[in-house]
C-alpha cells in the first residue's frame, strides 16, 4: 500500500488491541526453559559432580602439608601429587560436557524465543505493519533476542552451577572449622550492598541503548532500501543522513561506555571484598596456628576454599545485576510476544469452500479512532463475475474499504460477506486463498522470477508458470532473458521496469486462480505502452472473476458493472459509467477533468 494513502493513515488508529506490558518476572523468564528441564537436570548433576571434585584439591594440599611432608612419606606425597594432576583432567572433561549442554539449552531457548516472536508477528494485521518501522521489527526479533543470550545462559545454567559450588563449599568450611566459617560469612553481606543501585542504573542504560539501536536499524532499513537510497540521492541528502547516523552511533557508544563503567566499578568492589575476607582469615587462622589450635595445612586449605566461596557469590550477585540490566530488553521482547492480533480467526471459524464470488458490504463503517470515521454506512454488492469500481478523491477511504474483503483489517461496525457468509466467521487462510490482490506498487522478493511466481502456488510446475505468464503478456520477455525464469529480480524487483514487475505480479495472481480479485490502482504509475500491456493482462485475469477495482484513471473502469463514487468515507453516487455521467455529479466532474487534460495533451 502506498504511504500517505488510506492505509497509511492507520498509524493514527488507537482502538486496535495493544500489547499489554506485563511485569517481567524471573518466573516468566524461567518459563522459557519449559522444554529443557531434562537437560537441565543433567547439567545440575554434572555441576554437582564438578563441585565435589573441586572440593578435593585443598584437602589434598592439607594432607601434603600436614602429613606427607612432616612424616617424609614419599609414597603418600607421590599419590597426592598424582591426584592433583588427575583431578583437573576429570574436571575439564566434565566442563566440556557441561558447556556443550549449556550451549545447546541456550541456543534452543534463543531459537524458540525468536520463532515465537516471528509467528506472532505473522499473525498481526496490516494495521500493525503500517504503524511500525520495519527496522525496529528486525531489531527486536534479532538484536534484542541476541542481547539476552548471556542472561539466558547465566540465569539457569550458571546460577545452578554457582549455587552448588557455594552450598558444598560452605558445608566443608564448617566441617574444617566452624569459627572460621562464621567469620568468613560475616563479610558476605558487603557483597550485596551495591547490587540494588547498580542494577537500577544498568537496567535504564540497557533500555536506552536498545531503543537507540532500534532507531539505527530503522534508519538503515529506510536509507539503504531501494526507494530510500534513490530519494536520498535525488535530493542530495547524503550528508544529512551521515550526520543523523553519526549522532545515533555516538549515542550508542556513550551508553555502552557508561554501562561498561558501572559494571567495572561493581566488579572492582566485589573483587576487593574477596582479599579482605582472606586477610581476615589469615590473621585469625595464623593466630590459631601459632597458638597450636590449628594446623598450617588446615589454614591453607581454608584459604583455598574461600576463593571457591567468594567468587561464586560475586558471580551470583553479578548475575542479578545482569538480569536487572536485561529486564528492559525482555520487556521489549515480551511486548511483541504479547501482542494480540486485531484480526484473527474466531474460535468456531469454519472453512470457506466452493466459493462462487458473491461479495456484499452491509452498512460498513470504520474508525481509526473512536468517533473519527474514515468510512460510514457503506453498502453495495458484487455478483459472481461482476466488476465493481471504486473512484473518488485520494484519502476518501477506498483502500481501507476494499481491503476488508481479505480481512486486512475489520470494520468497526457492519458486515462484509462472501457468498452470504460473514468473513469473520470463516478461517482467514481459506478466505484469503480465494482472493488475489494486485496493487500499484507490486512487490517482488529478491529472488528469481520463478520463486516470485511460486509464492502464490509453491507446487506450480514450469508449464503452469509459463501459461500464467502468457496470459499476463510477460512470458516472451522472460524467455528472452539469459537465465529465463531463473533470473534474479533484485531488491524489490528493481532490476525490472514498472510494467514488467506489474505483469509478473499479475501472472502470480493468475497462478493463484482466485475467485475474487482486488485491483488497487494497478496501472496508475505506468506509461502508456506499459499500461496497454498491463491492461490487456488484467482483462485476462478478470475473466469470470468477481473484481473490485480502485482507479484514479477513469478510462480503466468504463466497462465496470457498477461504479461507486466515494467521498469523505461515504458513497455519494453509484451506477454505470453512462448513468453517472447523466447525473452530472462528482463522477462527471472527475471524468470531464481527466479527459479535458488528455485532449489538451
Domains of the chain: 19-177+318-342 (1.20.1560.10), 359-596 (3.40.50.300)
What is the pLDDT averaged over residues 371-380?
88
Mean pLDDT, the chain, integer: 79
Query: pLDDT tens-digit profile of 387-437?
Result: 999 998 877 788 889 889 989 888 999 999 999 999 999 998 899 889 888
Checking if the pLDDT of 291 tops 70, the result is yes
Non-local CB neighbours of 436 within 8 Å, separated by 6+ positions = 456, 509, 512, 514, 516, 517, 518, 541
- From the number of C-beta atoms within 10 Å of its C-beta (0-12, 13-18, 19+), residue 240 rates as exposed
| Beta strands 435-439; 570-575: pairing state | unpaired
Cα separation, 295 vs 303, in Å, equals: 13
pLDDT for the residue 343: 85
pLDDT for the residue 13: 42
Question: Would you state the cell numbers that stand for residue 277, as one nine-digit string?
Answer: 575476607
Query: pLDDT tens-digit profile of 80-139?
Result: 889 888 988 898 888 888 888 888 888 888 888 888 888 888 888 777 877 777 777 887
Helix 37-63 to helix 296-337 angle, to the nearest 10 degrees?
160
Long-range contacts of 118-123 (CB under 8 A, 24+ apart): 120/336, 120/337, 120/339, 121/336, 123/341, 123/344
pLDDT for the residue 377: 92
| Residue 280 binned pLDDT confidence (cut-offs 50, 70, 90) | confident
| Residue 358 binned pLDDT confidence (cut-offs 50, 70, 90) | very high
Checking if the pLDDT of 348 tops 80, the result is yes
Cα separation, 442 vs 518, in Å, equals: 13
DSSP 443-455: ---SSBHHHHHHT
pLDDT for the residue 274: 60
Checking if the pLDDT of 1 tops 50, the result is no
- What is the strand order of the sheet 570-575 is part of? 435-439, 516-520, 546-550, 387-391, 562-567, 570-575
Query: Is the overall model pTM greater than 0.85, yes or no?
Result: no
Cα separation, 265 vs 258, in Å, equals: 11
Residue with cell 573483587: 271
CA distances from 101 to 90, 156, 161, 504 (A): 17, 12, 13, 49
Distance, first Cα to last Cα, the chain: 30
pLDDT for the residue 337: 85
Cα separation, 266 vs 322, in Å, equals: 11
Residue with cell 561493581: 266
Non-local CB neighbours of 4 within 8 Å, separated by 6+ positions = none
pLDDT for the residue 359: 94
| Residue 534 binned pLDDT confidence (cut-offs 50, 70, 90) | confident
Checking if the pLDDT of 7 tops 70, the result is no
- Percent of the chain clearing pLDDT 90 (strictly above): 12
Question: Would you state the cell numbers that stand for residue 520, as one nine-digit string?
Answer: 488497487
Residue with cell 500500500: 1
Cα separation, 416 vs 363, in Å, equals: 9
Cα separation, 382 vs 418, in Å, equals: 10
Question: Would you state the cell numbers that stand for residue 358, as one nine-digit string?
Answer: 458473491
Query: pLDDT tens-digit profile of 195-243?
Result: 666 666 776 777 788 778 877 777 776 666 656 665 565 556 677 778 8
Residue among 550, 588, 591 at smallest CA distance from 397: 550
Amino acid at each position: 500500500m502506498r504511504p500517505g494513502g488510506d492505509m497509511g493513515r492507520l498509524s493514527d488508529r488507537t482502538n486496535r488491541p495493544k500489547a499489554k506490558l506485563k511485569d517481567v518476572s524471573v518466573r516468566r523468564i524461567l518459563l522459557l526453559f519449559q522444554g529443557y528441564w531434562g537437560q537441565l537436570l543433567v547439567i545440575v548433576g554434572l555441576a554437582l559432580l564438578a563441585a565435589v571434585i573441586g572440593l578435593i584439591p585443598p584437602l589434598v594440599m592439607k594432607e601434603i602439608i600436614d602429613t606427607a611432608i612432616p612424616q617424609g612419606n614419599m609414597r603418600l606425597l607421590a599419590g597426592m601429587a598424582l591426584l592433583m594432576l588427575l583431578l583437573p583432567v576429570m574436571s575439564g572433561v566434565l566442563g566440556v560436557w557441561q558447556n556443550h549442554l549449556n550451549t545447546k539449552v541456550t541456543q534452543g531457548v534463543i531459537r524458540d524465543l525468536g520463532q515465537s516472536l516471528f509467528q506472532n508477528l505473522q499473525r498481526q494485521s496490516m494495521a500493525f505493519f503500517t504503524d511500525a518501522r520495519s527496522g525496529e521489527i528486525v531489531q527486536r526479533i534479532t538484536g534484542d533476542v541476541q542481547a539476552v543470550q548471556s542472561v539466558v545462559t547465566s540465569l539457569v545454567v550458571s546460577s545452578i552451577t554457582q549455587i552448588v559450588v557455594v552450598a558444598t563449599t560452605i558445608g566443608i568450611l564448617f566441617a574444617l572449622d566452624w569459627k572460621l566459617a562464621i567469620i568468613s560469612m560475616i563479610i558476605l553481606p558487603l557483597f550485596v550492598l551495591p547490587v540494588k543501585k547498580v542494577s537500577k542504573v544498568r537496567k535504564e542504560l540497557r533500555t536506552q541503548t536498545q531503543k537507540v539501536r532500534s532507531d539505527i536499524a530503522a534508519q538503515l532499513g529506510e536509507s539503504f532500501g531501494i526507494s530510500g537510497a534513490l530519494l536520498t540521492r535525488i535530493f542530495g541528502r547524503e550528508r544529512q543522513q551521515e550526520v543523523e547516523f553519526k549522532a545515533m552511533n555516538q549515542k550508542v557508544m556513550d551508553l555502552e561506555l557508561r554501562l561498561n563503567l558501572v559494571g567495572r566499578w561493581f566488579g572492582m568492589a566485589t573483587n576487593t571484598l574477596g582479599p579482605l575476607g582472606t586477610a581476615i582469615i589469615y590473621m585469625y587462622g595464623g593466630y590459631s596456628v601459632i597458638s597450636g589450635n590449628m594446623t598450617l595445612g588446615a589454614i591453607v586449605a581454608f584459604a583455598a576454599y574461600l576463593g571457591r566461596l567468594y567468587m561464586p557469590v560475586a558471580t551470583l550477585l553479578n548475575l542479578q545485576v545482569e538480569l536487572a540490566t536485561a529486564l528492559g530488553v525482555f520487556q521489549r521482547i515480551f511486548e511483541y510476544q504479547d501482542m494480540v492480533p486485531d484480526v484473527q480467526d474466531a474460535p468456531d471459524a469454519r472453512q470457506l469452500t466452493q466459493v462462487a464470488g458473491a461479495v456484499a458490504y452491509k452498512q460498513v463503517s470504520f474508525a481509526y479512532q473512536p468517533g473519527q470515521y474514515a468510512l460510514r454506512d457503506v453498502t453495495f454488492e458484487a455478483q459472481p463475475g461482476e466488476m465493481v469500481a471504486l473512484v473518488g478523491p485520494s484519502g476518501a477511504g477506498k483502500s481501507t474499504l476494499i481491503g476488508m474483503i481479505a480481512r486486512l483489517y475489520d470494520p468497526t461496525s457492519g458486515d462484509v460477506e462472501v457468498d452470504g457468509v460473514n468473513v469473520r466467521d470463516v478461517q482467514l487462510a481459506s478466505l484469503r486463498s480465494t482472493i488475489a490482490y494486485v496493487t500499484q506498487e507490486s512487490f517482488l522478493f529478491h529472488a528469481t522470477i520463478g520463486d516470485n511466481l511460486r509464492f502464490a502456488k509453491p507446487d506450480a510446475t514450469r508449464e503452469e508458470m509459463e501459461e500464467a505468464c502468457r496470459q499476463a503478456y510477460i512470458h516472451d520477455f522472460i524467455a528472452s532473458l539469459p537465465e529465463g525464469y531463473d533470473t534474479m529480480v533484485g531488491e524489490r524487483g528493481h532490476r525490472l521496469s514498472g510494467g514488467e514487475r506489474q505483469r509478473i505480479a499479475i501472472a502470480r495472481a493468475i497462478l493463484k486462480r482466485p475467485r475474487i480479485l482486488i485491483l488497487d490502482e494497478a496501472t496508475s504509475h505506468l506509461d502508456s505502452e506499459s499500461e496497454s500491456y498491463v491492461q490487456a493482462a488484467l482483462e485476462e485475469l478478470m475473466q469470470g472473476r468477481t473484481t473490485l477495482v480502485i482507479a484514479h484513471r477513469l478510462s480503466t473502469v468504463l466497462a465496470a458493472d457498477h461504479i461507486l463514487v466515494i467521498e469523505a468515507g461515504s458513497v455519494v453516487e453509484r451506477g454505470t459509467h453512462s448513468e453517472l455521467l447523466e447525473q452530472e455529479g462528482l463522477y462527471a466532474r472527475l471524468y470531464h477533468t481527466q479527459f479535458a487534460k488528455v485532449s489538451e495533451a
